[in-house]
Amino acid sequence: MMQSLISLYKLSYPRSLVYMLQSSEYVVKPYLIWVWRTNDFSKVMNRRTLVYTRAARLLLLALRLGILLQILIGVLFIYLGAKNSLAGGVVFGIALIISYPFVWAYLLILPLILGRYFINGPKSLREIEESKQIFANHPGIKIAVAGSYGKTTMKELLTSVLSEKLVVASTPANKNVSLSHAKFATKLKGNEDVLVIEYGEGEPGDVARFASITAPTHGVITGLAPAHLDKYHSMQEAGEDIFSLADYLKNKNVFVNTDSQSVNPFIKEDFELFNHKEALGWKISGIKVDINGTSFEMKKDSQILKLRSAVVGRHQVGYLAFASAFALRLGLSKEQVVAAISKTKPFEHRLQPYKLADAWVIDDTYNGNLEGIRAGTQLLKDLSAKRKIYITPGLVDQGVENENVHIEIGKLIADASPDSVVLMKNSVTKYIREGLKIGKYSGKLSIEADPLTFYTNLNHFVASGDLVVMQNDWPDNYI
Amino acid sequence: METIIVIFGGRSAEHDVSIVTAISSIIKPLELTKKYRVEAVYVAKSGAWYWDEKLKDINLFSSGNIADFLHKASPASIQFDGGMKLVKASGIAGRKQIRKIDIAFPAMHGTYGEDGSLMGLLDMAGIPYIGCSVSAASIAMDKVICKQLASSNDIPVTPFVHFSKSDIERDPLKVIGKITGALKFPLFVKPAHLGSSIGISKVVNEKELKNALEVATHYDDKVIIEEEVPNLIELTLPIMGNDSPIPALLERPLTSPEDFFDFDTKYLQGGKKGKGSGGKSSSKGAQGYSQIPAELPSELYSRAENLGLKVYKTMGCSGISRVDMLVNQKTGQIYFNEINPLPGGLYAHNWNKSGVSNIELVEKLVLFAKERHSTRQALNTSFSTNYLQQF
């Protein structure tokens, strides 16, 4: 209690507030929730520290000056009150000084709200409106990629493979909301054969809105899993939003990954399906997974494609096969497809293998959903190693499914049977432990209270022959 | 929570190597175990001891700010009270800060640290400590005694002679005559007590020999001169444990036959003096590029490993050591070269390849230290006599 109170008056308090705002991506609601939840403001920078951007420096300066001004006014009131024997003045002065941490935690967001409503908001709306025209008039094939997970992977694979012959442009990194789409549109040259546009759904209505702006001709739905359930409330609601892409396309040119069983209730007759057994009429066999990549064969009538990619994991086969089959449909030769697939590489922080202190680490820290956890734990099972280590903090934004999802994660980990499990201590740890218990996990379990120290010193924990799978990473605004 | 002190630095030519060993390979992994309170004790080149949290930061040393730090800091002292305590003035009203020490981790290479001196101090304090005992460390740090002990236990060594610094200074020509009479060029001239290849020279004629003797006597009061092994493969084997020692992997430094690892090659050039570029199984460890495990015929590998273990036991080592061997690859003859009771960086890169993480390595070493301490504690150290009553 005392420690918490002291933290409000430490010199580091303004920096903590600006850090919290920056980590919340300058969005008011998560920042406020974080402020309300925080007891000790001296311990908010666990994963990262404040990045001194121009905006952060300006906010910090304004905050410090504001606090200083409030304290000076408080002192002035105390002085004048004492000089003129006015108890009220003294009390008000003291109140001013004591209250500054509370006052400025809220005043800090004022410039954001004003800026958003009066400057950024109208500007963004204008950009989005202009992009509508650009997308509508673009002559290329426009492929929208939607789903609860695997969107970035699918987008990157399609881009890599189709680029072997065609001119392809795709939305950068995981920039996948309307404003990002609008910025992407302004950079198009108009000569692209294919546009690949990722849809990052966050709340009901998002996907339909993205579709109305980007006017896709094709849609790929990568899967459905519990994600953003704080906004969607149920998988049904999330599924309806994601499959509104199919509604826009009138169920034509819609491709759905049926490795994700949750999509089944939404499947319609006109959809074309793909999974790790079949993709657009091609049969898949001979799947082999090792730390250096994944290989498999695709057969259709008398045609055979032997494919090898550096992306790792059985769950990637459906995506790779779809990208290959779709590329063939768009006119790429078999040789071009084989060559293109051989050039595909793991994407950063998405089941990306790398060597550390002679151990193999599979970095899947950008994964944030149950299906990804399923894929990661399956990979841990598939690969051989002298010692297997699994590391996760769990998932965020699981809404009402939070407990069930994390019990399921515990069971999946237990089923993969690693020698050692490391959980980052937070609000879901107890559920994962419960799942481990149900799954009768008998290996070593460690709970890490200081994730940053653990991750930055991982090289000291591992040795040759170890296989480490790290899934998901929680920012500081989740506990 | 038990308190471990890591003692590093020291009045030795290997002072700087010790700092890196302590901070990178010992203090950080020990802290990450979360089982111990780790205290850094730095022995400055002056011999003064310092105890401070800031000494855990390598930047303090690499930036050169250590001189300023030492100027402002008060040295620590040791209190023996049936155990061992660290004592220093806290700076707040002259109040003393005292910390009881449960275990010591000596991380000082060379003179006063690795040669048994520090171990003697810790034995007197009666606390467990990591690494070899006084006797094993003293033997290991004297290349002459080491080779004599090995020879008497049927462990092959290369032909060698040795001289004291005073012999060499009194009549260098006579010494050179004795050397050339007993051994054939090329020769290696080494200070008898130093590690990390400091003061070592390879010579091919009398003129070079004279210079090399001068260099070696600059560092040590005893010098050993050895014949070169033709068709050379160098091998090194880190080993840990007490009565049942465990070998890591045989490591082959990738040097060409005409090269050898002097201090610059080992620590400053990242071991790039050799011709080898690394290859598939090479690793850039504490001492540069090397092949781990050494690609040798299995029979030769097995013989070298067994010889390493025999040396470890013969010298009475415990905790951790590294045995260096020389192989004539034409004849397959393996010679024991020297043993190092505190390998630089604990040779963690090799242990990592053997499947032992940095954290597991320090945890095991602490367990070995406790095990040896318990065994020694069980020994009777008193013997009742009526000797005093006669006076």
Is B384 inside a domain boundary? no
Interface test with A, best of B282, B352, B353, B363 (most A CBs within 10 A): B352
Q: Inform me whether the C-beta atom of residue A462 falls under 8 Å from chain B C-beta atoms.
A: yes
What value does the mean pLDDT take over residues B288-315?
Answer: 93
Domain with residue B331: its CATH number is: 3.30.470.20
pLDDT tens digit string along B54-109?
999 999 999 989 999 998 888 999 999 889 999 988 766 667 889 999 999 999 98
| ipTM for the complex shown | 0.81
If asked whether residues B117 and B25 sit together in one domain, one would say yes
* Residue type (1 letter), B48: A
Q: What is the pLDDT of residue B236?
A: 95
Please name each of the domains of chain A with its CATH number: 2-108 (no CATH), 134-343 (3.40.1190.10), 352-471 (3.90.190.20)
pLDDT tens digit string along B152-167?
999 999 999 999 999 9
Which tokens is B234 given? 């160098």
Is B146 inside a domain boundary? no
If asked whether residues B318 and B253 sit together in one domain, one would say yes
Torsion angle, alpha carbons of B259, B261, B266, B270, to 10: 20
pLDDT over 50 at B277, yes or no: no
Domain endpoint, select from B227, B253, B285: B227
Q: What is the pLDDT of residue B275?
A: 38
Is B389 inside a domain boundary? no
Cα B336 from Cα B241, distance rounded (Å)? 20
Give B95: exposed, middle or buried? Use CB within 10 Å, 0-12, 13-18, 19+.
exposed
Cα B242 from Cα B239, distance rounded (Å)? 10
Domain endpoint, select from B109, B139, B169: B139
**Interchain proximity A460–B354, CB inside 8 Å:** no
pLDDT tens digit string along B101-130?
999 999 998 778 888 899 999 999 999 999
Is B74 inside a domain boundary? yes
If asked whether residues B135 and B187 sit together in one domain, one would say no
**Interchain proximity B355–A460, CB inside 8 Å:** no
Q: What is the pLDDT of residue A452?
A: 83
Q: What is the pLDDT of residue A433?
A: 96
Q: What is the pLDDT of residue B295?
A: 93
**Interchain proximity A466–B28, CB inside 8 Å:** no
**Interchain proximity A457–B357, CB inside 8 Å:** no
pLDDT tens digit string along B310-319?
999 999 999 9
Domain with residue B221: its CATH number is: 3.30.1490.20
Domain that holds residue B272: 230-340+343-376
Of residues B210 and B82, which shows the higher confidence score? B210
Q: What is the pLDDT of residue A109?
A: 85
Q: How confident is the model at residue B274 (pLDDT cuts 50, 70, 90)?
A: very low
Is B387 inside a domain boundary? no
Cα B345 from Cα B17, distance rounded (Å)? 8
Look up the pTM and report it: 0.79
Helix (H, G, I), strand (E, B) or coil at A148: coil
If asked whether residues B48 and B176 sit together in one domain, one would say no
User: Integer distance in angstroms from the first to the last C-alpha of chain A?
Assistant: 19
Question: Is the separation of the CB atoms in B317 and B341 below 8 Å?
Answer: yes
Minimal CA separation from A386 to chain B, in Å: 8
Residues of B in contact with A386 (CB under 8 A): 355
Cα B226 from Cα B213, distance rounded (Å)? 12
Q: What is the pLDDT of residue B264?
A: 56
Residues of B in contact with A464 (CB under 8 A): 352-355
If asked whether residues B221 and B236 sit together in one domain, one would say no
Q: What is the pLDDT of residue B260?
A: 53
Is B149 inside a domain boundary? no
Is B7 inside a domain boundary? yes
Q: Inform me whether the C-beta atom of residue A401 falls under 8 Å from chain B C-beta atoms.
A: no
If asked whether residues B223 and B299 sit together in one domain, one would say no
pLDDT tens digit string along B351-368?
999 999 999 999 999 999
If asked whether residues B323 and B210 sit together in one domain, one would say no
Question: Is the separation of the CB atoms in A141 and A193 below 8 Å?
Answer: yes
Domain with residue B69: its CATH number is: 3.40.50.20
Q: How confident is the model at residue B261 (pLDDT cuts 50, 70, 90)?
A: low
If asked whether residues B249 and B263 sit together in one domain, one would say yes
If asked whether residues B76 and B43 sit together in one domain, one would say yes
If asked whether residues B213 and B313 sit together in one domain, one would say no
Is B94 inside a domain boundary? yes
Domain endpoint, select from B187, B212, B227: B227
Residues of A in contact with B35 (CB under 8 A): none
If asked whether residues B51 and B117 sit together in one domain, one would say yes
**Interchain proximity A386–B355, CB inside 8 Å:** yes
Q: How confident is the model at residue B256 (pLDDT cuts 50, 70, 90)?
A: low
If asked whether residues B21 and B71 sit together in one domain, one would say yes
Q: How confident is the model at residue B283 (pLDDT cuts 50, 70, 90)?
A: low
Question: Residues of chain A whose pLDDT is less than 50?
Answer: none
Q: Is omega for the bond preceding B293 within 30 degrees of 0, making it cis?
A: yes
Q: What is the pLDDT of residue A479?
A: 57
Closest chain B residue to A451, measured at CA: B32
Question: Domain total for chain B?
Answer: 3
